[in-house]
Amino acid sequence: KAGVTQTPRYLIKTRGQQVTLSCSPISGHRSVSWYQQTPGQGLQFLFEYFSETQRNKGNFPGRFSGRQFSNSRSEMNVSTLELGDSALYLCASSLAGGQAEAFFGQGTRLTVV
């Protein structure tokens, strides 16, 4: 069974640009969550999608958005990039959420210059 796949693995963008990250969950998993990981800040919850609907949202500005497609694949978009957006972005998929194990992807390392 294929694991959670995130693309691209690495990205370098310029301040003010926008970026789209992709996450393909494990087959059969309907819940996809996104996290921002920075040194010292741990895993900060961005949002969670379930059956194409955003079910939960963390405390990030509106520049961070996402969506989920009918095949459960999810994308995350960050507009008007700032230097502080440089981080490892991880997505995690689970069967339904709640008390189901979350499986993480390898992450996308975003560097904003």
Partner 1 sequence: GENVEQHPSTLSVQEGDSAVIKCTYSDSASNYFPWYKQELGKRPQLIIDIRSNVGEKKDQRIAVTLNKTAKHFSLHITETQPEDSAVYFCAASRMNNNDMRFGAGTRLTVKP
Interface contacts to partner 1, rule CB under 8 A: 31, 33, 35, 40-45, 48, 50, 55-56, 58-59, 90, 92, 94, 96-107
The CA-atom distances, in angstroms, between 58 and each of 10, 15, 46, 70, 112 are 24, 23, 5, 23, 22
Which of residues 24 and 31 has its CB atom nearest to partner 1 in the complex?
31
Closest CB 37 distance from partner 1, rounded Å: 9
Which of residues 85 and 108 has its CB atom nearest to partner 1 in the complex?
108
DSSP letter (8 states) at residue 102: P
Closest CB 84 distance from partner 1, rounded Å: 17
8 A C-beta contact, residue 32 and residue 74? yes
Instruction: Give strand pairing partners of 101.
Output: none
Closest CB 91 distance from partner 1, rounded Å: 10
